[in-house]
Amino acid sequence: MTADLVPTPLTDAEFHTLTGEVLASIESTVDQWLEDDVVDIDAHRTGGLLELKLPNGSHLVLNTQPPLHELWLAARSGGFHYKHVSGRWLDRTGRELFEALSACASEQAGVPLQFKPPR
């Protein structure tokens, strides 16, 4: 990480609260898409792991990494690690989690999809 991407120090409780909000926001978005018949994505969450199964059978997996205070995203295009930096989840290049998740989901679902950070 470059100097301007220094992770924000978090307690374990803050990390769990923030990542819980992120995963809940993603689940809520997927539920809304199902309700609005935008795309059929199956979401399954177990603790800090959220698996999204897309219509073509591919998967996106988000996983919290409490010891590292990171969120990980696994997609067909690769694996990405995100740290909390000044209120945003950023990878080492500065790319934001929800931007990357939207791009990966759109690519794998074959329709434009946009995830937004929790408010």
Q: Per-block average pLDDT, block size 10, for the chain (119 residues)?
A: 77 97 97 94 96 96 97 97 96 96 96 93
pLDDT given at position 29: 97
* Homologous superfamily (CATH) for 3-109: Frataxin/CyaY (3.30.920.10)
What stretches of 49-118 show up as alpha helix (H) in DSSP? 97-109
Residue closest to 49 by CA, chosen among 25, 81, 71, 33: 71
Res 74: pLDDT = 98
Are 117 and 25 contacting, i.e. CB atoms less than 8 angstroms apart?
A: yes
What is the pLDDT at residue 2?
Answer: 52
